[in-house]
């Protein structure tokens, strides 16, 4: 188990789900901002979100450390024999495929569990450069911008309209 101790008494600032990728926004007590990017998310559970979520601990569990309690919380399983069998099957699959869990436990507010195939901790600046400011990810035409892709480019001004894409489950501000 890996403990991200730098986040104790820090803040759970938010979560952005982009298809099978989850971006978990965290800050240290000294207000240094980071994002944990979970790729190929299998399951996710967030509970108790409040204004001012304070982190007690952020943990990463490897495949061999997954427990029935983790799977039970992620899939809302009961203590019935069928749910226990389903949980055992999910644990076996998770271990076989190398899945891991990101666990955020609160002192106050939100808790979070993410079952995923990979986790990466990035500074907020590195995250912005990779996921927001990377021009290679931007569409090249107005038609592309408003075809459902999520695009927000600050240099294009703040006038636009929102469009929602059921295919990607994202909302974009489109500029004309």
Confidence of residue 21 (pLDDT cuts 50, 70, 90): very high
Question: What is the spatial distance between Cα 41 and Cα 115, in angstroms, rounded to a whole number?
Answer: 6
Task: Round the average pLDDT of the chain to a whole number and report it.
Answer: 84
Question: Over pLDDT 90: what percentage of the chain?
Answer: 74
User: Could you tell me whether strands 111-123 and 100-108 are parallel, antiparallel, or unpaired per DSSP bridges?
Assistant: antiparallel
**pTM for this structure?**
0.75
Span 142-171, average pLDDT:
44
Span 46-50, average pLDDT:
94
- Report which DSSP code applies to 135: G
For the chain, the domains span: 2-132, 134-176
Query: Tens digit of pLDDT for each residue in 63-95?
Result: 999 999 999 999 999 989 999 999 999 999 999
pLDDT at 134: 75
- Among 7-11, 17-21, 155-159, which is the least confidently predicted range? 155-159
pLDDT at 139: 57
The pairs formed by 22-31 with CB atoms below 8 angstroms and a separation of 24 or more are 22/114, 22/116, 23/127, 23/131, 24/102, 24/104, 24/112, 24/114, 25/124, 26/55, 26/58, 26/104
pLDDT tops 50 at residue 160: no
pLDDT tops 60 at residue 62: yes
């Amino acid at each position: 188990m890996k403990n991200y101790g730098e986040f104790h008494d820090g803040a759970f600032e938010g979560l952005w789900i982009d298809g099978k990728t989850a971006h978990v926004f965290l800050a240290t007590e000294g207000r240094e901002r980071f994002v944990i990017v979970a790729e190929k998310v299998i399951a996710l559970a967030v509970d108790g979100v409040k204004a001012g979520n304070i982190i007690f601990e952020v943990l990463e569990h490897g495949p061999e450390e997954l427990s029935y309690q983790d799977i039970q919380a992620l899939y809302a399983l009961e203590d019935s024999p069928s749910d226990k069998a389903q949980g055992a099957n999910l644990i076996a699959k998770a271990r076989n495929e190398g899945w891991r869990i990101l666990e955020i436990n609160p002192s106050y507010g939100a808790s979070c569990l993410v079952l995923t195939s990979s986790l990466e901790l990035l500074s907020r600046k590195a995250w912005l450069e990779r996921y927001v400011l990377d021009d290679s990810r931007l569409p090249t035409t107005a038609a592309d911008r408003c075809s459902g892709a999520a695009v927000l480019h600050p240099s294009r001004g703040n006038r636009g309209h929102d469009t929602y894409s059921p295919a990607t489950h994202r909302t974009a501000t489109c500029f004309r």
